Amino acid sequence: MTMIFLCAAGFLAAFVDSIAGGGGLISVPAYMLAGLPPSFVLGTNKFSSTTASFTSSIKFITSKKVNFKILKYLIPFTLVGAFIGVNTVLSIDENILNILVLVLILFIGIYSLFSKSLGFTNKFSGINKKNIILGIILAFSLGFYDGFFGPGTGSFLIFGFVKIFGYDFVNATGNSRILNFTSNIASLILFAIHKKIYYAFAIPVAFFMILGAHFGTKMALNKGSKLIKPIFIIMSLAVAIKMLIKLI
């Protein structure tokens, strides 16, 4: 029954995450409810969620919703940021970071809710010095953030691609999945080195997360921004509520 519960939660988490991010809100509590030791929860979740992230990334790539002319500049900075983030996890006050992230993600959710036109039209007009520099800052910052903390990374990336490059939600989600997968790899390597992955759970759940990511990405591509935007807003606000409860 525990395995069935975890696989079902994993499928749902990957389905939602491949559309608008925030899947960790489902998968991490599921591993905790299953009785997995706290030190293994994040590592085990990172293993299964990384496989799902890879699946959705491939789907977006084959659907031509990923722009590698941009990503070739951003991926190295995401990777470097993630490795630095992983290695500096103990040097930052988590309470201060919680408050900062809470404010930022609340802003993103509320701004997206009240901006009727945000992300519905693809206004990308090409690469220029300004958007590449802003993109590099976004990639490094969120790689660093995801390396040691993580909640809301997908939401921040999607919002960043919409605002910086003028993408609609479909293209923004496709490009953000690649950067999210890149930062996940850095964390996964560290968890594996420190033997914090419970493979008896991670591997079966990974299979169902791959399925969830496949169907979620397919639906996102078919339904477009009309589906992605409301789920994006819901998951952004859900992350904010979770962080607020934790602070209280």
Q: 67: which 2 tokens?
A: 């722009």
* Contact predicate 47/36, CB 8 Å: no
Cβ–Cβ under 8 Å, residues 152 and 101:
yes
Query: Following DSSP, what letter does each residue of 55-79 receive, concatenated?
Result: HHHHHHHHTT---HHHHHHHHHHHH
Of 32-46, 81-95, 171-185, which has the strongest mean pLDDT? 171-185
pLDDT of 65 over the 60 cut: yes
What pLDDT is recorded for position 66?
Answer: 95
d(CA 15, CA 106): 23
The count of structural domains within the chain is 1
Question: Is residue 187 within 8 Å of 146, Cβ to Cβ?
Answer: yes
Residue 152 corresponds to which amino acid?
Answer: G
Give residue-wise pLDDT tens across range 141-150.
988 887 766 7
Q: What is the pLDDT of residues 4-52, one digit of tens each?
A: 999 999 999 999 988 887 788 788 888 988 888 877 888 898 899 899 9
* Average pLDDT taken over every residue of the chain: 87
User: What pLDDT is attached to residue 145?
Assistant: 82
Question: Structural domain of residue 128, as residue ranges?
Answer: 2-247
Helix, strand or coil for residue 115? coil
Q: Name the pTM for this structure.
A: 0.85
Evaluate whether 82 touches 157 at the Cβ level (below 8 Å). no
